[in-house]
Structures are given as structure tokens and as C-alpha cells.
Amino acid sequence: MVLWWIGAVILLVVVLPVVIYLLNRVLAATERIRGATDDILAGGVALVGKLEGVPDGLAETDKTIEEVKVGAVRYAGSVAKLLG
């Protein structure tokens, strides 16, 4: 019975504070991660507001590429006639 009490005291004095210390470190890391994810979420929401004009810009880019392609094909045809 005495050994039982000694084991219980050792558990309370040594093991329990170590477990509490490790749990405290895990919880502190969790709070830092939560803060970082909140910052990432806020940045993502702000970024979405800035991306509203992207589809229109891409449509304009596609139109410009199509115009350049037509001119490039005509130029290449003319060069081919001169070289051939």
C-alpha cells in the first residue's frame, strides 16, 4: 500500500506538471496557427476583391492575341512568297 501512495505522489509531483507543460506548449502553438490562418483568410478576402476585373482582362487579351495571330500569319505568308 505504501508503494501505491509513493507512485501516486510521484505521478502528482513529476508526471502531471510535465504533461501540463507539454499541453500548454501545444495549445500555444495552436493559437499561433489560428492567428496565422485568420491573417491568411483576411488576405484572401481582400485579394478576391481585387480580382473582379480579371475575366474582362483575359477576354481582352484573347482578342488581342487573335488580332496579332492574323497579322503574323499574313506576314509569314508574304515572307514565304519572297523567299520562295
Task: Work out the pLDDT band at 37, boundaries 50, 70, 90.
Answer: very high
Residues 41 and 59 in one domain: no
Q: Which three cell numbers stand for residue 22?
A: 507539454
Residues 23 and 41 in one domain: yes
Alpha helices in the chain (DSSP H): 2-10, 16-50, 54-83
Residues 70 and 34 in one domain: no
The CA-atom distances, in angstroms, between 15 and each of 7, 24, 62, 63 are 10, 14, 67, 71
Global pTM value? 0.51
64 contacts: CB under 8 Å, gap ≥ 6: none
Domain count, the chain: 2
Residues 6 and 46 in one domain: yes
Helix (H, G, I), strand (E, B) or coil at 51: coil
Residues 74 and 42 in one domain: no
Residues 59 and 45 in one domain: no
The DSSP 8-state label assigned to residue 53 in this structure reads: T
What pLDDT score does 71 carry?
Answer: 85
Question: Which domain does 62 fall in, by range?
Answer: 53-84
